[in-house]
Amino acid sequence: MNSQSSMGSYVEPNKEFDRDMNYIPDRITRDGRDGWPVEPGRYRLIVAKACPWANRAIIVRRLLGLEDVISIGYCGPTHDARSWTFDLDPGGRDPVLGIERLQEAYFKRFPDYPRGITVPAMVDVPTGQVVTNDFPWITHDLATEWTEHHREGAPDLWPADVRDEMDDVMKRIFTEINNGVYRCGFAGTQEAYDSAYERLWAAMDWLEERLADRRYLMGDSITEADVRLFTTLARFDAVYHGHFKCNRQKLTEMPVLWAYARDLFQTPGFGETIDFDQIKQHYYVVQTDINPTQIVPQGPDPEVWLTPHGREALGGRPFGDGTPPSSER
């Protein structure tokens, strides 16, 4: 998508990568204070399996068992400068919203919407209008505002006893890793790239140490922090190592992080949401300023994600007092 990324952010020549974090701030809440009350069947979550930010929402929806409460629509992995599109659906239209481009839902509410058309997005089905694309709050609210509709045995992804530390951990993961790989890939100067590279690998080393003696980021059970880290790790060797020049090491060469990532991949709710073909199609085809030939690499072999990880030796209960989600739906 030339100088645009799927998040509506950009890099200018001779400058550092700058992510536009101005999203539609509305939230879907129990009390409906923004005009959007929690209501089963009313909203449709629009995602793309290619996008790490949308991938978070897919995982959280699965873990919490909200499949019958919030419907989901999948955009294809590639798009043009205008919008994500529903080219995976028959006739190229979302079967519920009846639209070809996610842009239509944005424009239905904001006719002159000036920013990137991003996923994930929550859409109000009765009006066809976008509600919010504020991705950190979307998953937070699925976990905290929709509790009456969670499945029996749904995990607590925001445990109160670690929430303050978890906020700090997630902030560092976002700035240094989730966004850090983009800062490397879209650096406009050698100096900007070198700085981004050093920051990324300092954080990767921090995680390698943090996870050496604890199974998950916050201890014995999975939290939203793990979801947020996982979607970047899942894309690391397939995309970020080469395409974004994050190439000090492959993930497979970091013993602790690689075992941790496989542990999550093999946990119900995680691995089945990953589509490596769509991930590679998105980055290598859409981001022509980085990959002008649009050639998509064949590797790496995804079967390595299913090899034994040995993290069970650290103990822990992946879902805390809860249970795994049911088989893929």
As for how many domains the chain has, the answer is 1
Query: How far, in whole angstroms, is CA 246 from its chain's centroid?
Result: 18
> What does the pLDDT read at residue 5?
43
State how far the Cα of 235 lies from the Cα of 74, in Å rounded to an integer.
Answer: 19
Listed in sequence order, the residues at least 6 apart from 34 whose beta carbon sits closer than 8 Å to its beta carbon are 25, 26, 27, 28
> What does the pLDDT read at residue 9?
47
Best CA proximity match to 75, nearest among 286, 262, 235? 286
Whether 7 shows a pLDDT value over 60: the answer reads no
- Name 88's bridge partners: none
State how far the Cα of 42 lies from the Cα of 30, in Å rounded to an integer.
Answer: 13
- Structure-model confidence comparison of residues 228 and 82, the more confident one: 228
> What does the pLDDT read at residue 326?
86
265 is a domain residue: yes
Structural domain span for residue 281: 160-314
> What does the pLDDT read at residue 14?
59
Task: Show which residues are catalytic.
Answer: 51, 182
Give the tens place of pLDDT for each residue, 150-189: 999 999 999 999 999 999 999 999 999 999 999 999 999 9
37 is a domain residue: no
Residue 260, domain CATH: 1.20.1050.10
* Residue type at 222 in one-letter notation: I
DSSP letter for each residue of 157-221: SS-GGGHHHHHHHHHHHIIIIITHHHHHHT-SSHHHHHHHHHHHHHHHHHHHHHTTS-SBTTBSS
Give the tens place of pLDDT for each residue, 118-128: 999 999 999 99
47 is a domain residue: no
144 is a domain residue: no
> What does the pLDDT read at residue 12?
58
57 is a domain residue: no
Give the tens place of pLDDT for each residue, 30-51: 999 999 999 999 999 999 999 9
Handedness of CA 31, 114, 59, 216 (dihedral sign): negative
Q: Helix, strand or coil for residue 43?
A: strand
Q: Helix, strand or coil for residue 75?
A: strand
**DSSP strand pairing (121-124 vs 43-48):** antiparallel
- Structure-model confidence comparison of residues 307 and 21, the more confident one: 307
- Structure-model confidence comparison of residues 38 and 2, the more confident one: 38
State how far the Cα of 308 lies from the Cα of 45, in Å rounded to an integer.
Answer: 33
- Name 122's bridge partners: 45, 132
Whether 4 shows a pLDDT value over 60: the answer reads no
What percent of the chain stands above pLDDT 70?
95
State how far the Cα of 186 lies from the Cα of 192, in Å rounded to an integer.
Answer: 9
In this structure, are residues 128 and 93 in contact, taking their beta carbons and an 8 Å threshold?
Answer: no
Give the tens place of pLDDT for each residue, 48-77: 999 999 999 999 999 999 999 999 999 999
Give the tens place of pLDDT for each residue, 233-278: 999 999 999 999 999 999 999 999 999 999 999 999 999 999 999 9
Q: Helix, strand or coil for residue 318?
A: coil
State how far the Cα of 54 lies from the Cα of 119, in Å rounded to an integer.
Answer: 6
Element (H, E) at 310: none
What percent of the chain stands above pLDDT 90?
91
Question: pTM, whole model, 2 decimals?
Answer: 0.95
> What does the pLDDT read at residue 75?
98
For 52, 77, 234, 280, the CA distances from 275, given in Å and listed in that order, are 11, 10, 10, 9
Annotated binding site for glutathione: 84
Q: Calculate the average pLDDT of the chain.
A: 95
Q: Which two tokens stand for residue 116?
A: 């990137």
309 is a domain residue: yes
Phi then psi for residue 257, to 5 deg, are: -60, -40
245 is a domain residue: yes
- Name 37's bridge partners: 29
239 is a domain residue: yes
Annotated binding site: 84
> What does the pLDDT read at residue 13?
62
* Burial class of residue 93 (count of CB atoms within 10 Å of its CB; 0-12, 13-18, 19+): middle
Listed in sequence order, the residues at least 6 apart from 309 whose beta carbon sits closer than 8 Å to its beta carbon are 258, 259, 260, 262, 263, 266
Go through the chain and tell me how many residues it has: 329
